[in-house]
Structure 1
Amino acid sequence: MWIGEFHDPRLVEVYDAECPWGWDDDFFMAVLAERSAHRVIDLGCGTGRLAIAMAGAGHEVTAVDPAPAALAAARRKPGGAGVRWLQGSAGQLPARSFDAAFMTSHVAQSFVDDEEWDGVLRGLRRALLPEGRLVFDSGDPAREPWELWNPEDSWRTVVLGDGQVVEAWSESEEVAPNVWHVTERYRFDDGRDLANSATLRFRTEPELRDSLREAGFRVDRIYGGWGREPVGLSGDGEFIVIAIATPRLMS
């Protein structure tokens, strides 16, 4: 879990400036429209960009995040009143109450420990109706995205809504195989420096498949890019997973 990004209001503003609507959002909205899904979960909703769009498309959306500053920003956005915002985790969701669940923006990478990841999947499985869909993205470790997490390659400027310019860059350190501790650093116009860090795990495709099966899902599709390319054939370097809740939840 990112320590600062969704807790400090200034970093929430930076996040929104750096992460506008993109191809990934278009993809998730298209997948949502493939099947009837009146009641939807957005787990790790952040500042609510996708949750608000899903609600605007007519879905009943419950958006869940542990960070109060992110949820406060989400509630203030146009359309925010149309979403049920919940501060917490998947374990707080009512059983057999939802048709689809989404974890976007690489939220899945934040669950480093296998037991924690299994708990998240099982919590979502309990919340979904049988045959409900779970849709999420995670970076493909074979593409080594961490190669760009250094000050030279990651340095950038971020322009906030009020015109303030923030200098930003990334630093990273491998702490275990396919597990990286990442720190995002920000320097504001007023000279204040803020940092935001997280430990992220990049699971392989077999690891993702095994964990989903153990938690009571069957994998429907895994894409490698936002154009629905096969794994390994896209420059996006993604695992984009669509899984189905099996009729019986495993113990």
Structure 2
Amino acid sequence: MFTDADAAALYDVLNPWDPTRHRSDAFYDDLVMAADAVLDVGCGTGAMLHHARERGHRGRLVGLDPDLAALDRARRRTDIEWVTGVAADASWDQEFDLATMASNAFQCLVGDAELRESLAAIRRALRDGGRFAFETRNPSARAWESWNPANATEVVDGTGRTLRVSHHVESVADGVVTFTETTFDQDGTALWVDRTSLRFLDVAELGGFLSEAGFEIEAQYGDWDPEPVADTSRSIVTIARRRRG
């Protein structure tokens, strides 16, 4: 048996939130701790907001995600607001100083309409001058070329099971990469298959959508150091600010 809850727990094993070890986590951690009210869009299992509370954040923290199993894990902390849903359906009105989409969650906004509606809702949720921080994979780095069974990851989950997680790209078309992630047991039996599509936007495309939605780019980096975005950069790390008015 491998359930939605197992998949959510395995995600935390594969992606532990640790700002002392991961520069990406430290980047978001610093922003969250400096903001009074934070909306984490695509919060998943809530690790980022959990860590903020553990560090002593006393303001408002809200996590939004459509994955019920992930939110069940997030709700282990009851001093944070957890909301089921997607960005495009959010109805907050100028309630947050900071919105985030960590761990490349922004790439799950695949279609133009979904992207525009999501950015409009995030902007609406922010106060004038509020910031939106997120990262996407740089399309010129072609990260998907390494998503194949030869690069499978072996991991021991929280119950002591040894599992293998591998990826297989099905298609790459019009900036959208569709792939499957399969979890196998020790005998090679497939326990879980998840199919995902991610959109890859370059700097110019990203800037166009942000400007149209009423954001201005405050800073943009190609790494977590930070470094300027280059063709060889793996990421496009963006801090955008809601234009006033």
Structure-2-length-normalised TM-score: 0.91
Equivalence for 2:177: 180
Partner SS for 1:81? coil
Inter-partner Cα distance in structure 2 for 1:83 and 1:144: 36
Equivalence for 1:81: 78
The answer on whether the counterparts of 1:52 and 1:82 sit within 8 Å (CA) in structure 2 is no
Equivalence for 1:134: 132
Inter-partner Cα distance in structure 2 for 1:83 and 1:166: 32
**Does residue 1:158 correspond to 2:174, yes or no?**
no
Equivalence for 2:236: 239
The answer on whether the counterparts of 1:157 and 1:168 sit within 8 Å (CA) in structure 2 is yes
Structure-1-length-normalised TM-score: 0.89
Listed one character per residue, the Cα deviations across residues 133-156 of structure 1 (whole Å, up to 9, x for unaligned) are 00001000010001101111x212
Question: Structure 1 residue 189: deviation in Å?
Answer: 4.4
Partner SS for 2:39? strand
Question: Structure 1 residue 55: deviation in Å?
Answer: 3.1
Question: Structure 1 residue 161: deviation in Å?
Answer: 1.7
Inter-partner Cα distance in structure 1 for 2:92 and 2:172: 36
Q: How many residues align?
A: 236
For structure 2, the residue ranges without an aligned partner over 5 or more in a row are none
Partner SS for 1:82? coil
Question: Structure 1 residue 197: deviation in Å?
Answer: 1.3
Task: State, as a whole percentage, how many aligned pairs show the same letter.
Answer: 33
Partner SS for 2:154? strand
Listed one character per residue, the Cα deviations across residues 26-52 of structure 1 (whole Å, up to 9, x for unaligned) are 11112334xx52111000000011011
Equivalence for 1:39: 37
Inter-partner Cα distance in structure 2 for 1:93 and 1:50: 22
Question: Structure 1 residue 159: deviation in Å?
Answer: 1.0
From 216, 227, 230, the counterpart of 1:229:
227
Partner SS for 1:184? strand
The answer on whether the counterparts of 2:95 and 2:125 sit within 8 Å (CA) in structure 1 is yes
In the TM superposition, structure 1's runs of 4+ consecutive aligned residues that sit over 6 Å from their partners are none
Q: Which moved more, 1:128-137 or 1:21-30?
A: 21-30
Inter-partner Cα distance in structure 2 for 1:84 and 1:29: 18
Question: Structure 1 residue 54: deviation in Å?
Answer: 2.5
For structure 1, the residue ranges without an aligned partner over 5 or more in a row are none
Equivalence for 2:15: 19
Equivalence for 2:203: 205
